[in-house]
Each structure stands twice: as C-alpha cells, then as structure tokens.
Structure 1
C-alpha cells in the first residue's frame, strides 16, 4: 500500500496502536457485558433453521480445524466466523448503536473478531481490545458517514470494522491493517434492499457474511495482499460513490464508543424498544383486555416510522415470516399486548399466523412526530394511545427504556437475559462457567478457554465437522 497518509492508512495506524490500557474500566465492563449478551443471543439461536443450514454447509465444505463452532466442531476461521456471527445475529436481539443517520449492531463484529483471536492464540485482554477497535470503527463511521439514505445498508460499515477488529486480533501492523480494510471496504458494499419490502433470510445473514469476508480480507492482508490505498477518498471510492465527504481524526479517537451502545430488553427491532416497554406498562396499569381494543395509535420518531412503522421502507401489516414480524411495529405491539412479552417464541410461524395477532396488528397505526424526531437519537421518544370498546382511552409517553444509554442494563439484568436464552441449550453449570469466563476476560485467560465452553453448547444432532 502507498504509505502516503491516506484515510485508510491513518485508520490502520489507529488499529495498530490500540492497547488494552486504552480501555477505561467502564469500557472493559461494557465490552464484557456486550459479549455475554451476544453469546446469549447466539446460544438461543442454535436450533433456528437458517443457522442450521449454514452449519450443514460448513460441515459439507470442511476446512482446516483452526477455530471453534458454537455447539462443537472446528473449521477454518472465516467459516467459523460466518456460522457464529449468524447465531449472534439471527434472533435480532443483540446490541445496537444509534447515530443521527444510521443504526448498526456492533456485536455483529464478534464472530469475526473471536475467530481471529482464537486463530492467533490471543488472551482475553487482546480479544477485548480488538472488539473495542471494531466497535469504535463501526460506530464512528455510522456517526460521520451514514449510508442508509443513499440506498446502502449499515453492513457497509461492518466491512471496515470487522476487518479492523480482526487485524488487531491478528497483530497486523498499520499497513497490513489498512490493506485489510481497503480490501473489505472495496468488496463489501451492502444494499439497503436487504431491509425493505418483503424481507428474506438475508436480513439476518448480511452482517455475518460481510464479517466472515472481512476476516478473510485480514488474513489475505496478513499474507501481503494489498488493497486500494484511496478506498475512502479516491476516484469512485467510498466517499465519491456512497457516503459523501467525511472526516474522522483517528489520532484523537479512543476506545469508548461501546459505552454508547444499547442493549435490547425485548426480542424486537431496536427502534421499537421504548414503545414495547410503554405498551406493556400500559397493559399492566389498566388491565387492558386485547379483545376490547379498537385502535392503538403510536406517535414516534421518524426513523422508527420509516424502518418499522410503514414509512419509506414499506408497509408493515402483511406479516408472514419471522423476518417480517421482527421489523413490523404493528406486529410487535400486537403480540406484546396479547402475550405480555416479546421473546423468540413470539416469532414462531404458528404464532405469527394466528388470527388474533393478525387481526389486532391491523388496528395499530404508526405516525411520525416532528418533536420526537428532533429528540432522537439522544432519546427514543414515543406516545402510545389505546382506545377500547367501552370508549375508554389509555395513554403513556416514553423517552427511553431499560437498556438505553440513559437507563443502562446491569450485569445482573443481562445475565438474566443470557440465562433465559441459553437455558434450552446449556445447563446451569455450563451457563455459570460461561458467565464467569466472559467476566474474567480481562484477567488474561486464553480465548481458547472461552471457545471450549462454547463448544459444549447443545445443538442436538451434530454435523461431522473436522476435529483436531
């Protein structure tokens, strides 16, 4: 790569110089909490059909047994990253980051960074540092170079962040890290059609695919393969073709962005979280019988309206699949009112297609509110008004939810979420070991120890992956 100070080379310098000492105590704790949350989401998805199909493909293709698959078996790093990241992402229950023009899921980086760390023989501190790098890169690109309004998906930023995190775990120097990001950033520009109209499996798999390819880019760069030095600012580069001009002074960046990410309380698209908390509070306060509901009106910020409320990304009342359901605010509110919760069970096909929820979701109306839009993303404001057959009206207004930056989840709360998700596939003893292993990453425990525990998660009948 040309050693002139191109933007990607300066980003490579940031990757190379990052150390565990750069992490504050708070950032370290939040990284461990995010890993536990992501691992819980992954374990909760091990029997889901799309990840099982990926696992079968990995078993069929084989690969050098260098990295661990959650649930047992070993394969090549990029294939382990694909499968493990698919598990983290599938339920759509992992963490999020809100920028004015972009929303992303930073724990989408975990599959690639964990595979790179295991491949390189890292300890827990090195894993935390590499993951912090990935979080910082993805979140700051979301802040300064949003792509959604130009028709590209937030996964476009993940190409750079996953390559950056993998490069840090692999111990690459600035030049090689820059090449890794240049390769991934040039090759992996995801289209927003992934999340508009009729949704497919790719909604949950676009990020895992990009992360696994970004890890492969880092492995190529480690072996001397170069990428376009002006991937950001060059002719037909990222700025010219996708994001427009932007500036980030990476020499002044820290590793603290993880502290501004948020954890989901409900198994639902992130912009729905405060609405769902409000709906459930309203139902409990007034003992609302869903059978009596005539209309639910939700006033919310414009991002929520456009993505999950029926705005520019398509209608949200024709719901027949899991992918459509967890991106439909009418469905999520309806099932919350009926079932009193929004968890993976609420996305079983039998539940989605039942007449009660299909009928109620058509009585739910979402509209944008300019005042709420101005308060986002510092807040997640909404107003819910429910009218019932006896001419009664119940209303509640929310500004955040438990898990938001202003009301962060405690370790105990995330551990409870982890246990709920993992219990069907990991007994109490294994869950305790996993919690302790994640909490102890900062004590220099080898990443391989965490990987061995993740291999013990039960997924039923195992494909015949290669074993060392």
Structure 2
C-alpha cells in the first residue's frame, strides 16, 4: 500500500493531528509570534553552542560528521539529514539549559528544533518557513503535555517529543496530509521511551530526545516514499492511549497562540532548581553583607518546594552524593550547596565543585520537603523557599515565580547575553556577535546554513 494513495485514516486523533498541521502550515506567524520563536531559537542555539565543546559531542562528532553530507551541524561540520537532526538535538539538550514546559506532563519543546533545522536546510526552506514549522511542532508538544499520563505511567517526555517532531519536520519535508498521518503513526507505534533521567542520571539524558527526533525524521522519509503505518494507532485495544498515555484530550486549536508558553532557563540546571539557585545566590550575598568575605560554616539548610520537584531532583540518595555532572545538575541538595558556597552558578560550575569537600559536606545538610502551599499553585507558580542558619543567624529567601516562567519571562536581551556567553566559549566575541545577528535576522534569511554553522 502506498501512503500517497492510501484511504483516509480511521483513527480520530491521528486524523485530527494531521488536519491541525495542515491548517497551520499555510498560516504565517504574526510579528509577536515570530519574535517569541526567534527568542526561543536563540536560546536553543546558546545551549547548543556551549555543548559543542563537550566530550560526549566529540565522540558523536567523530562517528557521525561527514563533510560530504548535505546538512549543517550546529557550530560547524556536516552530516546526513538524520545524523544532523540527531546531533543538533543532542547539542540543544545536553547541557540541560534549554526550555521546558510544565502541564499535566513535563517536557522540553525546544528539543525538536534541531530536527526541524536539519529538515529545513535539507529542503532549502527559508528562515520564516522554518520558524513556522518549529511553532507548529511546539504547539503539538504543549498540547500533548497538557493531557494524558505518560510521566505517571513511567514514560519519558521524549515519547511526546517524537510525535511533535514528526509534525514539525513533516511540514518542511513537504509531506501531504495523508503522508503526515503515516509518519505520525510510525512514530507513535515505535517511539515510546522509558523514563531514564531519575536516580543516577547518565548520558542518556541528552540522548533520548535526540533519538526521538532522529527517528521521527526517518519515518517522515519513509512516509514521503509511500510507506504506510498502522491505523488505528492511538485508538483500539492495542493503541497508544490504552497502553502508554491514557486518554488524550487534545485541544489542537489552530487559532491559539502557544509561541510564548514555554519556560526558558537562566541557569544551566534542571528546571526545578532554578528558584532554589536564585534563592541560594541571594542568601550568599546577604551572608557576605552580614559576615564579610569569610563566611561562617552553615549549620543547616532547608528547602521547601512543590512536590513535583522532588520526583526528579530529590528522589534518591544519589542526589545527595552525585558522582557525575549529569546527576549533580538534577540534584536540589547539591545545586543549593554549590550556590550557597560559591556565590555563582553558570556554565561549568558543577564540574569545578563536583568533588569539592565543602560543597559535598554541605549538600548532606540540605533537607528538602514538599510544601502543600507551593504544590497547590504549581505550575502556575513555581514557588520555593530556602532557609539557612549560620553563626546563630537565620537567612531565608522565597521565590514565587522563577526567571524564565511566562509570568516572569526572560527578555530578548537576557537571552542574547546567554547566547554570547555560550558562543564566546566556542569562538571569539566578534564572531559570536555576528552569529547572534544572523539568528536575530533568522525570519528574513533565504538560507539558514551560515546561521547554523555560526560562520
């Protein structure tokens, strides 16, 4: 059977997803929507730029980069469509500094950007067309996160991401509505990824999204060449909703603007630590004002936070004695201890203090508990309160909404500062500034290759 001539799909949700995408693909973004997507693109590229210097990426680059191939890898080098999608997505995700979204389920919508960029370059699309495809994929990701029970059932957010990536990339691969339904179905039937970012966190934290994105593009190519997929796939006795997600009540309103709904991160750490890090840095400054530069030993530190944060950042004993950076940047006790002692938090901070005896000793003193009041209003508010005692004095800071939350958004200037700080670690400041200008001008680019390479 050929996807190009197959009968209309019977699966209601599959048909709705394909129809939603078809309705959105011809609607240009407004100026405000474009601005929101450019900001998120720059933020994602900042995360990718700093990750190009990592050891894990060096290993992957040695295996997958091939200068004879058609697609640009972020920061330079070339690869096949699928490998560029994989590498780009890995770079965006690896530092755990890219955006997040908290609905009924969590996830990282910008993880799909790497695949959409690869698909857009592969098909020669303009910057404006690529931004629109990113926005469509992000919309699907957010609507998925707002329903179902994938996290509660033990599935990774990458399970939803693959579906959203199939949509965003499928638009740029010029899939028809019928072909897009086949690509989504292939992703749904094969892309269910178990939760792998709790306890001892590993390299898989940065790989799961990249694998989901890479696979979704592969399925797009299969569908474009006439291959077909199961129908129904969401519904029925063996369907996705019965065995993976639970009921999916997707809104899928093409007129709804979701471009500004994701949460950006100021600090390179798990989302739930953004408030505690800010609170700890404020307490460090207050202690300096009180005691001078030589701070007394901290006797105790207690963190109150919403209950959901404990599931991913204070869930096992490993979080109090992290043995690698991946676990440390998902550890509320360690991140709090580091920020209290160091008085700073940025790229490379954890690597510098992972084995610091003082930080590790203080992490043992950090207690964490779920606050009923913070849990009740989460995620509309992302509250946390840190209370520290030292030399007979008590210091407390409460954060109601973290920086980067839609209620306290990061400005374009702040995102550009983040990008320049990250890109300057890869290249000189002048080149980083030119790269930032290309990304700011992304909606007007006829070709995106140079904006990807940063040249």
Report the TM-score, using the length of structure 2 for normalisation.
0.94
Tell me, in whole angstroms, the C-alpha distance in 1 between the residues paired with 2:7 and 2:199: 42
Return closer, same or farther for 1:333/1:90 CA change in 2, 3 Å cut-off. same
Tell me, in whole angstroms, the C-alpha distance in 1 between the residues paired with 2:110 and 2:440: 17
Which residue does the alignment assign to 1:208? 210
Which residue does the alignment assign to 1:160? 163
CA deviation after TM superposition for structure 1 residue 299, in Å: 0.5
Tell me, in whole angstroms, the C-alpha distance in 2 between the residues paired with 1:234 and 1:124: 40
Is 1:8 the counterpart of 2:10 in the alignment? no
Which residue does the alignment assign to 1:222? 224
Structure 1 runs of 4+ aligned residues shifted over 3 Å read: 19-22, 288-291
CA deviation after TM superposition for structure 1 residue 188, in Å: 1.1
Which residue does the alignment assign to 1:132? 135
CA contact (8 A) 1:9 1:229 kept: no
CA contact (8 A) 1:127 1:447 kept: no
Q: Secondary structure at the match of 2:438?
A: helix
Which residue does the alignment assign to 2:187? 184
CA contact (8 A) 2:25 2:171 kept: no
Q: Secondary structure at the match of 2:181?
A: helix
CA contact (8 A) 1:384 1:397 kept: yes
Structure 1 counterpart of 2:63, from 45, 57, 65: 57
CA deviation after TM superposition for structure 1 residue 291, in Å: 4.6
Query: Could you give the per-residue CA deviations for residues 100-121 of structure 1, whole angstroms, max 9, x where no partner exists?
Result: x321111100111000000010
Q: Secondary structure at the match of 1:396?
A: strand
CA contact (8 A) 1:79 1:212 kept: yes
How many residue pairs align between the two structures? Answer: 445
Which residue does the alignment assign to 2:386? 384
CA deviation after TM superposition for structure 1 residue 63, in Å: 8.6
Which residue does the alignment assign to 1:30? 36
Is 1:333 the counterpart of 2:336 in the alignment? yes
Return closer, same or farther for 1:73/1:398 CA change in 2, 3 Å cut-off. closer
Which deviates more from structure 2 when the two are superposed, residues 254-263 or residues 280-289? 280-289
Tell me, in whole angstroms, the C-alpha distance in 2 between the residues paired with 1:340 and 1:54: 34
Unaligned runs of 5+ in 1: 457-468
CA contact (8 A) 2:283 2:340 kept: no
Unaligned runs of 5+ in 2: 1-5
CA deviation after TM superposition for structure 1 residue 146, in Å: 3.4
Which residue does the alignment assign to 1:320? 323
Return closer, same or farther for 1:146/1:291 CA change in 2, 3 Å cut-off. farther
CA deviation after TM superposition for structure 1 residue 393, in Å: 0.9
Tell me, in whole angstroms, the C-alpha distance in 1 between the residues paired with 2:187 and 2:295: 49
Tell me, in whole angstroms, the C-alpha distance in 1 between the residues paired with 2:279 and 2:130: 37
Within-5 A mapping of 1:64-463: 65-99=69-103, 101-192=104-195, 194-250=196-252, 252-254=253-255, 256-287=257-288, 291-310=296-315, 315-348=318-351, 351-388=353-390, 390-451=391-452, 453-454=453-454, 456=455
